[in-house]
Every structure is written in C-alpha cells, then in structure tokens.
Amino acid sequence: MAITRWNPFIELEQLLDRYQRGSTLPDTAGKEIIKQSDWTPVVDISETPDEFLIKAELPGVNKEDIKINVHDGVLTIQGERHAESEEKDKKHHRIERFYGSFARSFSLPDNVDPHAIKAESKDGLLLLHLLKQEQPKPKTVEIQVQ
C-alpha cells in the first residue's frame, strides 16, 4: 500500500481550471447547460536549436478568425470560435464545446526574431515557428586611466 501525500492546492487548481473553461450549470428543467464564457486554447511549447515551436489547439476555428501579433516582446494569439447556427428541426441534447473569443499571450525570449515568425493552420492546430537569431556577443572595452 502506497501513501499519497495530499496537496490541498490541487483541488483549487481543478476548480480554477473548470471556472476558466466554463462550467456546467443545471437548468431549471433538469438539463445541463453550458455557461457562456470565453475559453482558452491549450498549447504545447517546444524548442530546437533553430526555433521555438508553439502548437495551439484550435479545432473548429477558421484561420480567418485568428489574429497573431507581436508588441513589445509579447506574442498574442486572438480569435473566435463561432457557435453553430440553430436549425428549426434540430434539437441539442448536450453541448460541451466552448465558443466565443479567446486570447493567449506569451513573452518572447530575447533571441527570437519577431519579423521571422511563421504561422500555419493544420488539422485544428495552429503552429507558430519562432526562429532564433544570434545574439551579439558582449564586447569588452578597455578604458585607459589618465
């Protein structure tokens, strides 16, 4: 039998995660409805000798609805996933996907060239290639004492 150390902050993190992703609320008729709120796409960030790669999960988001910019060393990904239109003869039993606007921001390392960032959308993933640039090496300047 293994002893597991209890961490009270895990429950708090789970609660905050549910809040950020929206929460399921009971309807007065006993059905579940999703609270309308903004959502946050999940990302993976990896590094190679030549670049950083950010993979953001954006299923159902058109590339025309994504805006990416860099300002003062901060990369921002913004966009919106639109809800499907209501059809007269269609009845929804459960809606668990999140809709609405989203935004994620990341501080760029000093060795990333903001003018060489490339973005591509593929299979519900947004791939951002942040190319590295060589940092100028610090110079030593000798000062003569007079």
70-112 tens-digit pLDDT: 999 999 999 988 877 767 777 777 777 778 888 899 999 989 9
Q: Please report the pLDDT score of residue 131 as a whole number.
A: 94
Give yes or no for residue 139 having a pLDDT over 80. yes
- Mean pLDDT (whole number) for 117-142: 89
**In this structure, which amino acid lies at residue 9?**
F
What pLDDT does 3 receive?
A: 74
Confidence at 136, pLDDT banded by 50, 70, 90: confident
Query: What's the confidence (pLDDT) of residue 43?
Result: 93
pLDDT digits (tens, 9 = 90+) for 13-60: 777 766 665 544 444 444 444 443 467 889 999 999 999 999 999 998
